[in-house]
Chains A and B, each alone.
Chain A
Amino acid sequence: MILPVVLLLICILLLLAGTRHFFSQHQLTQASHGADYEKAYHLATGGLESVDTLLMKAVDFINDGRPESFPRVDKAPSELKPIMKRLLGPDGLLNLDTKKIPIDSDLFKYLQKDFESYSSLKVELELRKLESLFASSGAPGPIPDAREAKVMVLLHAEASVNGAFARVYRYREAKLVNILPPVLGKFVLFLREQGSANVDTLADSILGKNQVNDSPLMVYSGAECNPASLPLEESVSFFDRQGWVFLGSEAPWTLGAGPGGGDDEYASAMVSNDLRVFSIPDTDALSTRTDISYYSQPEYLFKELREPFYRQVMQESPSDDLLSARIRISGSANRPTPAVVLGKVINRWVLLQGLKNERTGLYAPLPNIGETQFLTDIWPGMTAASARRVRDNFGGDFRRYRERMTSIVEESCNAANLRVLAFYDPRISWQIALNPDNLPAAIDLPAESGRASVDNRPASFFKMNHGSLYSLSSSDGRQLFAGNLSGFENIEYLKARAGFKFDSASDFYKAIQTEKKEFIVKDVYHIKGDLIVDQPLLAASGCGGMILVDGNVTINDAIRAPDLEPVTIVSFGGSVRVSTSQPLAVALIALKNSVFIESAADISGMIAARDLAMNRLANLQKRSLSFNQNLDVTDAEIYNRAFRLFMKPQGVTFVR
């Protein structure tokens, strides 16, 4: 009787013991697995951090647009080379259709130390294009680049320890953008309208050399050029590399190309100030005098033009004809930087002509008079006897006199490029006033631009380029713009490039401040209000960026770009006011309003605005605008160097 009971008891005990043993073993297994999982998790997060650090360095390298970091794969630091090879396409641009790229790190072995035999770690990087930033509308205007896109950047880390798997992911949404201002980056100066700034009313002083009553804006379009320095075959690439000028409106821009008070830094590069002397032809009566020659000279002896007690050779002309321009395109006499001008732009300047006495060195300018006065003996600055003698010299023929008298020269702004470059053809350099259409056929002029056309004709380097249909292309053939440049005013689509948005400028400054208290621009920022630059902004490490502002922009402090990184400030609806003499390495854009330069500004970049305004500066302070060649959107190499992958340093990390 008792045995069955005992056996039953034994069975129960065995069952209990077995159950408890099973569960405790299971618990131990679970605990071990949990502990292994924790190890695997830390292994995975460690691997993720290591690769993420490499990725951020790779992105920094990709965002370095300095020429010395190209070709990227070759110039990449050794630890980044494997990533670069996988991330970049054959054209050196970011490949957005990558499969998962396995990435190794030196730290993996250390993280697995002591348990490498029963653990594994694999980290992969995946880039995927989510959507293009800009949809092509097909409407006239700028043609967006479909390569600018939202991009998913995903890191997968998978680690196992003793069969316990941990998978950790880090997700970021990035933007692949080009930080150059579209279309406008080709122009050192882009003005849609003339405005009310009277850009051609800089009066030269008549009190003496180096004196003007204002400071012109000296526009330096790129590489310097001195006469005869440029072989003809290089001229096309030279002009295509320069920063161009666009001056819109149907009314012509008449830019006085006067001598800028005789100051080489102010004197326009348009005209050569050299004196030309010509022997008197036998048909003229004065040819019997061996000590007298004809001379021609651009308005350098400005005293002769207007000074009351001197020879008033231009007294019949409107006073505006004697002015220099407040905008001095193509640099100055001591730093000529020829540029291609698009728009209806005319140069206007005085050509002093007369007789030179070789024995005494005295000049007798022949006054600018009409035919009626020519037939009288009353000529400005001359005695009646002298007037009669000069008239007799030309046989009483006013047409012959008109060729030799002091006169106003009016020519296409681009014609000056011939003279500045002085294409080593004496037939060009001999002429003071040039009309490219009337040059002898044997003179080879450089071919036209391959990057711009006006009304379906290639833009000329020497003729006027004015029309209603402008087309700009990149050097690789990609079309950038088609339409009327004067109507190009809305670039708000650029907001899609922004990686950061701020309600105020103070928020913006807080966000870009570094540990070293510097304010680094290295992304595309959108500020909803106004922006006052009252702390110096800095571009670094070849990156650069854009600041897009809905309101007005006031610049009171420096903007520095040590390696000429492209930095652009755009005011969508407001104006840009420059109130500092600190160096500004920036492109300033206000297509719906004005750029107002109220200081002795030194700008390296470009200006694009509806119109340009300047106030008068005292004490001959200098005011200059130099083209930053790294903004040239028509140069495919430069353009491709301006692609940036911007993303926030903090990603979203999650565990599966």
Chain B
Amino acid sequence: MILQVRLSLKTTRRNNGDIGHRPGKSGFTLVELLIALFILQLVIAPLYLVFTSTRQTMFKAADTLVAAGLASSMIAGLRELPKQSLRSQPLTRDSQLVASFSLENLGVMPAPPEFTRKVEIIPATSAGNEGLYIVEVRIEWHNRNSETQVNYVVRNLLRGKE
């Protein structure tokens, strides 16, 4: 038996006649509905994956930008330091830096908890570059789903303000 589901949808009859629905019998059958649902689920499942992947991509992009900003702000703060304040600094988390390199002293915002910012400063020893310091800022974080660690490393040179 074919169950005919009649929806309360009404078709519009126009002056020039029926447009394809039988008068008083507009709607669709359960078979049609099931077929439609089947087709839909065939599409929606991959679409869900696409949306999830897209979301991760967006997080990744946002995290990358945040990392780049964290590194740049740290270097910008260090570049403002007077010459006499510059000295060697082994690779250290920004929250554990010595007082002269402290975030408060540099006027740099702390990194969000998901990010770890590390700083290393070493004097340039090559001839002609005496007085310069090489700074390396390393930003570490984890991908939000895969938990794989990501690094973003930036290097620059510091001369110190006269």
Binding site for B on A (CB under 8 A): 1-3, 5-7, 9-10, 13-14, 17, 20-21, 24-25, 27-28, 30-32, 34-35, 38-39, 41-43, 45-46, 49-50, 53-54, 57, 77-80, 105-107, 110-111, 113-114, 515, 649-650
Contacts and interface: CB of A to CB of B under 8 A. Distances in A.
Interface string B21-33: 1000011100011
B158 to A, nearest CB: 8
Contacts of B129: 50, 53-54, 105-107
Nearest to B134: A110
A261 B86 CA distance: 63
Q: Size band of the B side of the interface?
A: 35 or more
A538 B51 CA distance: 72
A46 B155 contact: yes
Contacts of B32: 1-3
B64 A32 contact: yes
Contact of B62 (A31, A43, A50): A31
A9 B40 CA distance: 9
Nearest to B60: A28
Contacts of A107: 124, 126, 129, 132, 134, 157
Given A1-B27, A24-B58, A35 B40 contact: no
Contacts, number: 138
Contacts of B72: 38, 41-42
Contacts of A14: 43, 47
A42 B58 contact: no
Given A3-B32, A53-B128, A107-B129, A32 B157 contact: no
B2 to A, nearest CB: 15
B117 to A, nearest CB: 14
Nearest to B42: A10
B39 A106 contact: no
Contacts of A77: 127-128
A106 to B, nearest CB: 4
A24 B65 contact: no
Interface string B19-61: 0010000111000110110011001100100110111011011
A23 B102 CA distance: 38
A650 B83 CA distance: 14
A113 B154 CA distance: 10
Contacts of A38: 68, 71-72, 154
Q: Which of B67, B128, B153, B162 is packed against the most chain A CB atoms within 10 Å?
A: B128
Contacts of A10: 39-40, 43
20 contacts: A1-B32, A3-B32, A10-B39, A13-B43, A20-B51, A43-B155, A43-B156, A45-B157, A46-B134, A49-B156, A50-B129, A53-B131, A54-B129, A78-B127, A79-B127, A80-B128, A107-B124, A107-B129, A113-B155, A649-B162
Nearest to A35: B68
B157 A2 contact: no
A520 to B, nearest CB: 13
B119 interface: no
Nearest to B27: A1
Contacts of B44: 13
A7 B64 CA distance: 38
Interface of B: 21, 26-28, 32-33, 35-36, 39-40, 43-44, 47, 50-51, 53-55, 57-58, 60-62, 64-65, 67-68, 71-72, 75, 84, 124, 126-129, 131-132, 134, 152-159, 162
Contacts of B27: 1
A78 B68 CA distance: 37
A121 to B, nearest CB: 11
Nearest to B34: A2
Contacts of A28: 57-58, 60-61, 64
A80 B126 CA distance: 12
A39 B138 CA distance: 12
A51 to B, nearest CB: 10
A651 to B, nearest CB: 12
Contacts of B26: 1
A32 B40 CA distance: 35
A10 B70 CA distance: 42
B36 A6 contact: yes
B130 to A, nearest CB: 8
Contacts of A78: 127
Contacts of B53: 21
Contacts of B57: 21, 24-25, 27-28
A9 B84 CA distance: 67
Q: Which of A3, A31, A39, A105 is packed against the most chain B CB atoms within 10 Å?
A: A31
Nearest to A57: B128
A27 B36 CA distance: 34
Nearest to A44: B156
A9 B43 CA distance: 10
Given A2-B32, A31-B61, A105-B128, A20 B54 contact: yes
A17 B132 contact: no
A2 B159 contact: no
B154 A17 contact: no
A39 B156 CA distance: 9
Contact of A3 (B35, B54, B157): B35
B127 A106 contact: yes
A42 B75 contact: yes
Nearest to A78: B127
B159 A6 contact: no
Contacts of B132: 49-50, 53, 107
A286 B14 CA distance: 167
Contacts of A41: 72
A649 B132 CA distance: 15
Contacts of B33: 2
B143 to A, nearest CB: 13
Nearest to B159: A49
Q: Which of A3, A28, A43 is packed against the most chain B CB atoms within 10 Å?
A: A28
Contacts of B21: 1
Question: Which 9 residue pairs of A and B lie closest in terms of their CB atoms, listed nearest first?
Answer: A79-B128, A31-B61, A106-B126, A6-B36, A49-B157, A35-B68, A28-B61, A79-B127, A24-B54
